[in-house]
Amino acid sequence: MPLITLGLSGSLNHDPSAALFIDGKLVAAAEEERFIRDKHAKGKMPLFATRFCLDYAGITPDQIDIVAVPYAQIDLSSPARWHYAKRYWYAPDRALDALFNGNRRYRRYVGYIKAMCEEVGINWSAIEFESVEHHLSHASSAYHLSGFKEKTAIMGIDGKGEYATTFFGYGENGKIHKIKEFYDPDSLGGVYGAITEYLGFEMLDGEFKVMGMAPYGDPDKYDFSRLIAFDGKDFKVNTRLVNVIGMRRYKENGIGYYFSPALIDWLGPKRKGDEIDDPYVDYAASMQKLFEDISLKLMDYYLGDIIKETGKIAFAGGAALNVKLNQKIIQRNEVKELFVQPAASDAGTAIGAASYVIASRGIELEKMEHVYLGPEFTNEQCIKACENYQTRDQQAVKYQQLDEVPKTIARILADGNPVSWFQGRMEFGPRALGGRSILGCPSIPGVADRINEQIKFRERWRPFCPSMLDTVAPKMLKTDHPAPFMTFTFEVNDGWAERVPEVVHEDGTARAHAVKESVNPRYYALLKEIEVLTGNGVVLNTSLNRRGEPVVCTPEDALNMFYGSDLQYLIMQDILVTK
């Protein structure tokens, strides 16, 4: 009988998700936010995501062998709890709680998971329950799904798990070995998140925006080194400024932030609004530079010998979605290949916890070749959604069924029109990769601004990314490094910024997605048609959602987004909806 393992995330009160493995094959995975239409689904359990995974795989609740979660008990003998108590001495209630009741959150979380499993119909007494340390889950999600057979350096950077914030280790023969962990409040992700809040964005979501701002600023104009004391192998966060709790937090309109009033005294008022104002753009650049410098030096110190030996690195944790850091890593001569878990945030720990327990049983996991792991819909379901949908002015939805989708949509794009592209299975993770995307023709000036201002309703300076034929990638990019998941930026070769200006960022880079025909044949066919019409096998690709909303999941979600924007074209499978 095959081993059926269900991984469930949501241990840190955000980004709950479910992932289902049959032996070593990842069959389905989805984030709860997509089903309940609540970005990050804070405070929720992955109820609907779990039901989807079971339904899609044709698995009944009584067939589940293992439920795995990415959160574990941390013993009092661990240095983690003592470090936390010592560093948070200024908040004695938190410090004492870490020592005397340090697994309170774990016990509460397991209670929530048990209740949810029983609601789904999983008999708690009949399954094996496995709890995996949070950062081991991140590590497993990258290493065990990388396909790497050699000894592999593993890095994990995020806000925090139970207590750990930063992980360095290696994988060999299917086993993960720890080398070094850092503990809260000493968190690179925590500092980046605090500055994200200071710059006027929301933690867990706005870090991408800070990264997008950074190329517009001067990283040497301000010295941010006072935020983190670093000696080449250890770092210590300045908790008088950032990653603060309790009474040290800066408060505004009753909301507490992860930075202190002392940071305001140093840098000035917290940024507000959507404009890039001086000096905030330079602050973003300085934060990005500090983050990159310390991350790379820590990587060299703890993983340098392993990287020189095999050249392979696996990376996860929310900070692994920092594509500028990833670019710096793959530019190292000793690095042959970097695998970043495409769902590197906490949503991906559902995959990580499950893969860790599967690997511990000696089962080899399949390499992650794609993230099309969510729901899909038929033409009939799309038509039914159109017929049942009422527009705001109570008009019927205007739709038709196409015979040649790639050719027709390519012509619409080449004529300068953005298109909502709803095809096949929904992606797992934050990146739109041709399943739930808004597309544009990147050679037409102004397309990016139009999507920003009229459709995405987001900051006008945020960059858009290119999806391209795998045959085009080596021509457009100054590298032959794999780019299947939009997790890296690359320098663009001469001439391409002029050919596709709408997808090349201020610093001459592009966060590229190279499409293989075997992975997504319809999207590949569209790119081939675009190449015929424009000479460039490239499209502008951004996620199918509006600002502040999760990526769409169902045809009904796509119609809501379509009629709530200035888009004129929506293609769902073969069904073209027009205004």
Structural tokens at position 448 = 């990016």
SS3 state of residue 453? helix
SS3 state of residue 21? strand
Q: Please enumerate in sequence order all residues whose Cβ is within 8 A of that of 499, keeping only pairs 6 or more positions apart, or say none.
A: 443, 535, 536
In whole angstroms, what is the distance from residue 192 CA to residue 383 CA? 45
Catalytic residue among 14, 134, 138, 513: 14
Structural tokens at position 228 = 């983190």
Q: Whose structure tokens read 């890095």?
A: 155
Can you say how many angstroms the Cα of residue 199 is from the centroid of all Cα atoms in its chain?
Answer: 20
How many alpha carbons lie under 13 Å from residue 348 in its C-beta half-sphere?
Answer: 32
How long a stretch of residues is the chain? 579
513 is an active site residue: no
User: Taking a C-beta distance cutoff of 8 angstroms, is the pair 215, 204 a contact?
Assistant: no
CB atoms within 10 A of CB 93: 9
Q: What is the DSSP string of 180-212?
A: EEEETT--HHHHHHHHHHHTT--TTTTHHHHHH
C-alpha torsion angle, residues 427, 433, 434, 435 (rounded to 10): 10
Q: Whose structure tokens read 């009474």?
A: 247
Q: Which amino acid is at 515?
A: V
Q: Which amino acid is at 31?
A: E
Structural tokens at position 479 = 């590298």
User: Taking a C-beta distance cutoff of 8 angstroms, is the pair 314, 146 a contact?
Assistant: yes
Given its phi and psi angles, is residue 385 left (phi above 0), alpha (psi -120 to 50 degrees) or beta? alpha
Comparing CA positions, the residue from 216, 208, 335 lying closest to residue 283 is: 216
Given its phi and psi angles, is residue 126 left (phi above 0), alpha (psi -120 to 50 degrees) or beta? alpha
Q: Which amino acid is at 229?
A: A
Structural tokens at position 508 = 């001459």
In whole angstroms, what is the distance from residue 51 CA to residue 74 CA? 30
Structural tokens at position 561 = 């987004």
Q: What is the DSSP string of 354-422?
A: HHHHHHHTTPPPPP----B-S----HHHHHHHHHH---TT-PPPEEEE-S-HHHHHHHHHHTT--EEEE
Q: Which helix (H) or strand (E) holds 137?
A: helix 134-143
Mind telling me the catalytic residues? 14
